[in-house]
């Protein structure tokens, strides 16, 4: 590797390419800087777990600073999962509540009791184990990877490893091998998960589940809700499960086809739960535009016609407008067998144009299975 080259921190390269200084300057001018890259870990800086909270000589808490602004990113991620109900509980409490420096990075049970979040309140959790999951995840967000570890907690290392796996398309076997080597290099009292499966189980408590829905082999219907336990298609009589004569009695039957569905409502709720995005969710109704000039879908005649047709829906600017797009792609490429699947992506048109067309706000909602193009039958999967 050429020592005169550095990792390019622009949005396009995202620290993935080594370029010379002049090329990096050009990329930064053209594409901008990588968002939220404050701790330069890709350029030699050590990872800072709490971004200054561990440095007692630099620690100072402003009285007007809210409780959430004092959390590290991984504690904030757990609070985001808890939703806006918990946020309102904290915001309605006394502003004098601020954790002491020695309390940051420890269990938050005492703080939660002080601000009134105790037990399972009907406004915070709907009679399920949501409160227990929240407390458990918050404790793991504070729990060091081993006794004396100041750089990582259990949640922080899992979040970073899963992010690396997704960005670099690492296989599960390869990922598990890396995790095994990492465990061998750590002290014996480490709480590092054993493999990818254990990490996924822990992350599932943060919400955003993936639902597998069985589909008719010919794409006639979904085995869902009232038809969940049907054994064959009510239109073409095709069996739901694959026929395998060698299959034993104790073996699990496999459906002919499955659709992956990523529930949309939890992700839309997070847009209002996060202060960073909640204020922009009414932008489509409040922004100013010139007459006879269309700068956004809300300026179009079709958008305004919808408002006139459904005035009660249009009166509430916080109601969410969604744009849908779908297109097919061949996951196996030209060298593999002929197979085409169709991802369906939704984006909220409430957000301004600088946000709604960015990757974080383009929600992959479902993947229509192949191998053929669904054509007119795509509405069955919606």
124 shares its domain with 26: no
144 shares its domain with 28: no
Note whether residue 351 is domain-resident: yes
Q: Are 141 and 153 in contact (CB under 8 A)?
A: yes
Q: Among 220, 218, 361, which residue's Cα sits nearest to residue 281?
A: 361
23 shares its domain with 158: no
Measured between alpha carbons, how far is 51 from 104 in angstroms, rounded to an integer? 12
State residue 79's pLDDT score.
Answer: 60
Q: Are 71 and 79 in contact (CB under 8 A)?
A: yes
Q: For residue 166, what are the domain limits?
A: 56-205
Note whether residue 36 is domain-resident: yes
11 shares its domain with 129: no
Note whether residue 255 is domain-resident: no
Note whether residue 253 is domain-resident: no
124 shares its domain with 166: yes
State residue 345's pLDDT score.
Answer: 92
User: How many structural domains compose the chain?
Assistant: 3
Describe the strand order of the beta sheet including 257-261 as a list of residue ranges: 222-223, 211-215, 257-261, 363-368, 342-348, 322-326
DSSP for 343-364, written as a single string: EEEEEETTS-HHHHTSGGG-EE
150 shares its domain with 182: yes
State residue 246's pLDDT score.
Answer: 67
- Listed residues 205, 240, 271: the one ending a domain: 205
State residue 272's pLDDT score.
Answer: 85
State residue 177's pLDDT score.
Answer: 93
Measured between alpha carbons, how far is 161 from 209 in angstroms, rounded to an integer? 19
Which structure tokens are listed for 28? 């930064």
State residue 335's pLDDT score.
Answer: 60
Give per-10-residue mean pLDDT for the chain (382 aa): 76 85 86 82 67 39 45 60 49 40 41 40 46 67 82 84 86 92 90 89 75 88 88 88 70 85 86 83 84 81 89 90 86 70 90 85 88 80 81
Pairing of strands 222-223, 342-348: unpaired
Note whether residue 148 is domain-resident: yes
Radius of gyration of the chain (CA): 25
Q: How many degrees, rounded to 5, is the angle at CA 273 between CA 267 and CA 279?
A: 105
Note whether residue 195 is domain-resident: yes
State residue 83's pLDDT score.
Answer: 53
């Amino acid at each position: 590797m050429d020592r005169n080259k550095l990792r390019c921190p622009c949005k396009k390269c995202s620290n993935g390419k080594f370029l010379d200084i002049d090329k990096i300057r050009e990329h930064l001018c053209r594409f901008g800087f990588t968002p939220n890259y404050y701790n330069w870990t890709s350029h030699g800086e050590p990872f800072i777990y709490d971004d200054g909270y561990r440095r007692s000589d630099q620690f100072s808490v402003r009285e007007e600073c809210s409780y959430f602004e004092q959390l590290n990113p991984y504690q904030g991620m757990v609070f985001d999962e808890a939703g806006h109900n918990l946020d309102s509980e904290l915001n309605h409490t006394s502003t004098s509540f601020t954790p002491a420096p020695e309390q940051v990075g420890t269990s938050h049970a005492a703080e939660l009791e002080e601000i009134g979040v105790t037990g399972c309140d009907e406004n915070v959790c709907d009679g399920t184990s949501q409160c227990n999951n929240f407390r458990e995840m918050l404790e793991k967000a504070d729990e060091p990877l081993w006794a004396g570890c100041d750089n990582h907690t259990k949640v922080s290392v899992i979040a970073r490893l899963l992010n690396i796996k997704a960005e670099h398309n690492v296989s599960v076997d390869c990922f598990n091998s890396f995790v095994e080597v990492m465990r061998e290099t750590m002290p014996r009292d480490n709480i590092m998960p054993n493999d990818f499966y254990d990490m996924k189980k822990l992350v599932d408590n943060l919400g955003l589940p993936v639902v597998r829905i069985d589909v008719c082999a010919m794409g006639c219907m979904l085995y869902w809700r009232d038809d969940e336990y049907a054994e064959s298609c009510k239109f073409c009589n095709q069996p739901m499960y694959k026929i395998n004569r060698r299959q034993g009695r104790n073996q699990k039957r496999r459906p002919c086809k499955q659709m992956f569905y990523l529930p949309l409502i939890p992700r839309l709720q997070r847009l209002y739960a996060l202060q960073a995005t909640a204020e922009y969710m009414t932008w489509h109704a409040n922004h100013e535009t010139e007459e006879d000039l269309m700068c956004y879908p809300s300026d179009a005649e079709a958008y305004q016609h919808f408002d006139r047709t459904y005035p009660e829906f249009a009166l509430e600017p916080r109601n969410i407008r969604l744009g849908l797009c779908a297109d097919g792609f061949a996951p196996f490429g030209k060298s593999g067998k002929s197979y085409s699947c169709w991802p369906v992506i939704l984006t909220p048109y409430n957000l301004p144009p600088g946000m709604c067309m960015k990757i974080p706000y383009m929600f992959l909602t479902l993947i229509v299975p192949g191998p053929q193009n669904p054509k007119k039958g795509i509405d069955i999967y919606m």
